[in-house]
Every structure is written in structure tokens, then in C-alpha cells.
A and B are shown apart, each in its own frame.
Chain A
Amino acid sequence: MEDKKPRTERRQSVEMDLMQEQALSPQEQAILDAKLPRYTVADPTQAETLALLGKLLPHLQPNPVIAPDPPTPRFSELLEGAQTKPYEATVWSRMLGWLGVHVSTPHRVMGASILLLCLIIGWAEPSLASSLPGGERLSWLPFLLPLFTGVTLSFSLRSLGTPMLELERSLPISPAYRLMSRAIAIVSTCALAALAASTLLVLWTAPYGLLSLMLSWLSPLLLYCAGTVWLMLRFGPVSGSLSMALLWVTQPFLLEALGVFYFIGDPVMTGWLTSKLIALGFVCILIGDIVRMLRKLNLSYATRTRRSA
């Protein structure tokens, strides 16, 4: 940063310019003195100066022969290049690359853990149902899977409402895109893991059809994740995550009272399909509101974090 003279000296010299017939008021001078030095600009690095020197030295020659810079490929050209690849390979490689970028190692470990957990639960469900009070009424997979996914989701969105989000704003992608990418990546990973587990369970124990089993856990999972993100955006990461977890855990105790709003039921329960459809309806509403809130994120979080700073 260039800062050749002390601020007071600089201020005096500027004041001297104006002191004859025109002068700024003390308040005006004070605010200029306080704010203008904030506009700092980074000095060039040694490497940048050397690079510039390297480009300029040929101009000292009597008849300079200056090699042109290699042309930078335009974005459209890169896009065209990508589109010339085989369609399937591009889609799969893009998907894998996207998951590789957005899903960090802890999330991959969590996905594998969920897969393992699903298998253990599927194997142990009959014994759990008989040994725990009320266990026969509870479907363990749709109950626990969202909770574990929610932990990962809360961890990945922990910057919400903190000054760290402001720093993330300086990244080339928007915070809304970043947050939604993370959330989608995590939920997709967990859903894929649970899908694999469900397939194995159907092949292994065949309690219900694969479609029924998938709908049984997929709609609670989506509802839990959408609810968590919605509450996090409303009340902050910690309060939002804990509120949703609390709401979820109280469900089994309110089975009779909830009726079709009991979202973790088995296909054998009455109103099972209705409850799943209601859950999916809630998911749509929550996602719509999340998108609306994320669009307003730039202003609302700037204000909130500035107040805390």
C-alpha cells in the first residue's frame, strides 16, 4: 500500500491549497480525513514489476521485435470446445466434477456413514421395534436419515448470518449460488447413499416395494432439509438447526395427534401416501421461500453483519 506522508501532514497540505478564499468546514475536513485514506490500492509485486519490465525492454531496441501475447481463448470458444465432447461423457464428467468441487471430504465420509447406518438400521429394525417403547410404531430409516443429513447440512451452511458470509461474497460466485450448491450437493449425496441402501434392503429383506421405501424416506429427508435451511435463514444457523431437530424428534411422541402430518410413517399406516404428498407440498413451499430469501441475501446480511461488527 502506498502511503508516503502521515495523514495529518497530507491533510494540512490539502487545507493549505484552499485556505485563501475557500475552506472546508471542520466536519467536512474531518470526514475526508477519516474516510479518504481508506481507499487503498495494492502495490504491484516484484514479479509484476519484473514482468512489466520484460515487456518494455524490447521497446528500447532501435527496431523492436515484439512478440504478440498468445491470444486468450474467449469464454464462448471454451464452451463450444466443451460441447463438442460426447454428450454422455460430458454430463457424467460434469456431474462428478461438480460433486468433487462442492462435496468436501467430511461430506463424503458422512455420505458413506449414512449408507452404513441405513444398512445397520435395516438389519436391526425388527429388534429395535420390539425392544424400545413405541418402537413398533416408528420407522427408523426415515426418522434418523434426515437428522444425520441435517448435521452435515448445518455444518456446511454455518457461515450464514456471520461476517464470514461477507467474505464469501467476494468469491466469483454469488452466495445464493454457493449456498444452494452446497445444500443440493449434500442432499443429493445422502439421497444417493440412501438409495443404494434401500436397494440393498429391498433385495435383502423385501419389507415393501422399492418405490414405497424410497418415498418413505425421501419425502421426510427433503422436508427436513428444506425446513432446516428455511429455519437457518430465518433464525440463524444454530437456532435453525436445533429447532428443526427438536421438531423432528418430537414427532414420534405425537403420532396420534399429528394424523396425516406424521411424516415418518410406514407404508402400512393409514394416510401414508397423503402424508408423503403433504410433505412434498411443504417442500415446494419452503424451497420457494428459500429462493426468495436468498435473492434478498445481499442486502439483509450486509446490514445484519455490519450491526454485529
Chain B
Amino acid sequence: MVSLTDEELLTMIRDGQPAALEALIYRYHGPIRAYLNRVLHSPSLADDLTQECFVRVITAAQSGRLPHQARPWIYRIATNLCKDLWKKSSYRQEQSVDPVKLSRQQDHETVASILERQWEREAVIECLQALQEDNRQIVILRYYHELKLEDIADIMGMPLSTLKSRLYQSLKKLAQLLQAKEGSDDGRQEA
């Protein structure tokens, strides 16, 4: 089952084979949940939308609408779910009271080093949050999920040149924000 491609798995799901669904879930549960978690900044919402994303994958496969490339297609479904969520006014009200900024990383390092990493993680989250929603998704898809630019352009529904320009602007702004944050933290420590 592991050697089968994602597209073959989708075909088998269309035929109602549970093993294919199991294989697909094991391949994509982690990445899709991580993507949604980074974009939405809420583990509970990410869990809900991950489930909804796979329900839509199953429904689409059963109706025979199979993609040429499964990976960007699944990410596109997840991205559309995010966009639907952002359109809801209730989400925007809830967003401010649901900040999850704490690291869940567990290892055998010292308390100080864990804290240092946690602060850095919070800084990255804050700076990513400062980007526009579309730009944040582009950075996350490219940097953390390593999708091809062509695939990201397909997912986001924009021309490749626009995507490149947006990626450049987003990374530039992100670097500036991180530098400014680092500078302000250093200044605060010296004070």
C-alpha cells in the first residue's frame, strides 16, 4: 500500500476501499493538520477542519472528481476551508480570545533552552500573524510544506509571477519584522 501513489489511493477510495483511506490519512493527517494549525493558529479549529477536509476528499473521490495531482489538490481543499472560515464574522470575533502560542515541544533540554525556543517560536508566530492571510499561507505552504511554486499558485488561484512577487514581499517583511523584534528584545534586556 505504501508504494501506491496518492492518485491511485484516491481511485481506490472511489471504489470504497477502507485500506486506501487509511493509507491516505496516515500520509496527510500530520501535514494537513500542521498546515491548518499554522494558518489558523488554533489546534482545535485545525482538528475540525482537518476532518472536514478529508470528508470533502472522500466525497469528491466518490463522485469521481479525481485530480491529476493529489497533494496540491488536498492542500487546496484545506485552503478553501480556511477561506470559508475567514469569511465568517464569528471567527474574527473568536480569534482574539484564542491565541495558542505555547510550544508543545518536549525534549530533555534545560528549562532555559526550552524557554528560549518558545520565545523564538512565539516571535515567529507573531510576525507571521502580521502578514496578510494570503501571504501567510504562501509562506507556510512554501517554507513549511515545501510545495512547488506552481502548485502553490494553483492552490491560491493566482499567476506564478504574482505568487513569486508575493512570496518575495512576504519573506522580506517577515525578515524585517523578525529583525525588529530581535532588536527590541535585545534593547529590553539591556535596559
A residues with a Cβ closer than 8 A to B are: 1-2, 4-5, 10, 13-14, 17-18, 22, 24, 27-29, 31-32, 35-36, 38-44, 48-49, 52-53, 55-57, 59-62, 163-164, 166-167, 170, 303, 305-309
- By the criterion CB–CB under 8 Å, are B51 and A60 in contact? no
Q: Which A residues touch B115, using CB under 8 A?
A: 163, 166-167, 305-306, 309
B118 → chain A closest CB, angstroms: 8
- By the criterion CB–CB under 8 Å, are A14 and B111 in contact? no
Q: Which B residues touch A60, using CB under 8 A?
A: 13, 16, 18, 21, 58, 62
A63 → chain B closest CB, angstroms: 11
B108 on interface, CB distance cutoff 8 Å: no
Additional pairs, 6, CB under 8 Å, beyond known A38-B120, A44-B29: A5-B146, A24-B172, A31-B179, A36-B144, A40-B105, A56-B21
A17-B167, A305-B115, A306-B115 known; A40+B143 contact, CB < 8 A: no
A104 → chain B closest CB, angstroms: 21
A56 → chain B closest CB, angstroms: 5
- Which of B51, B114, B142, B179 sits near A17, CB closer than 8 Å? B142
Q: Is the interface of A mostly helix, strand, loop or mixed?
A: helix
B16 → chain A closest CB, angstroms: 5
B91 on interface, CB distance cutoff 8 Å: no
B17 → chain A closest CB, angstroms: 8
Q: Which A residues touch B165, using CB under 8 A?
A: 22
Considering the complex, give the chain A residue whose CB is closest to the CB of B181: A35
A200 → chain B closest CB, angstroms: 45
- By the criterion CB–CB under 8 Å, are A32 and B22 in contact? no
B59 on interface, CB distance cutoff 8 Å: yes
- Which of B26, B50, B55 sits near A59, CB closer than 8 Å? B55
B42 → chain A closest CB, angstroms: 12
B residues with a Cβ closer than 8 A to A are: 13, 16, 18, 21-22, 25-26, 29-31, 33-34, 37-38, 50-51, 54-55, 58-59, 62, 102-105, 111-117, 119-121, 123-125, 128, 142-144, 146, 149, 164-165, 167-168, 171-172, 174-176, 178-179, 182, 185, 188-189
- By the criterion CB–CB under 8 Å, are A28 and B176 in contact? yes
- Which of B26, B182, B188 sits near A49, CB closer than 8 Å? B26
A166 to B120, CA, bound (A): 14
- By the criterion CB–CB under 8 Å, are A52 and B171 in contact? no
- By the criterion CB–CB under 8 Å, are B179 and A43 in contact? no
- By the criterion CB–CB under 8 Å, are A39 and B144 in contact? yes
- Which of A5, A48, A59, A306 sits near B119, CB closer than 8 Å? A306
A2-B30, A170-B102 known; A18+B58 contact, CB < 8 A: no
A167 to B114, CA, bound (A): 10
- By the criterion CB–CB under 8 Å, are A10 and B146 in contact? yes
- By the criterion CB–CB under 8 Å, are B116 and A309 in contact? yes
- By the criterion CB–CB under 8 Å, are B121 and A40 in contact? yes
A133 to B112, CA, bound (A): 50
- Which of A39, A306, A307 sits near B125, CB closer than 8 Å? A39
Chain A to chain B: the 5 pairs with minimum beta-carbon distance, closest first: A28-B175, A309-B112, A22-B168, A41-B34, A38-B120
Q: Which A residues touch B123, using CB under 8 A?
A: 35, 38
Considering the complex, give the chain A residue whose CB is closest to the CB of B50: A52
Q: Which A residues touch B121, using CB under 8 A?
A: 38-40
A62 → chain B closest CB, angstroms: 8
- By the criterion CB–CB under 8 Å, are A306 and B124 in contact? no
- By the criterion CB–CB under 8 Å, are A14 and B51 in contact? no
A76 → chain B closest CB, angstroms: 16
- Which of B50, B179, B189 sits near A307, CB closer than 8 Å? B189
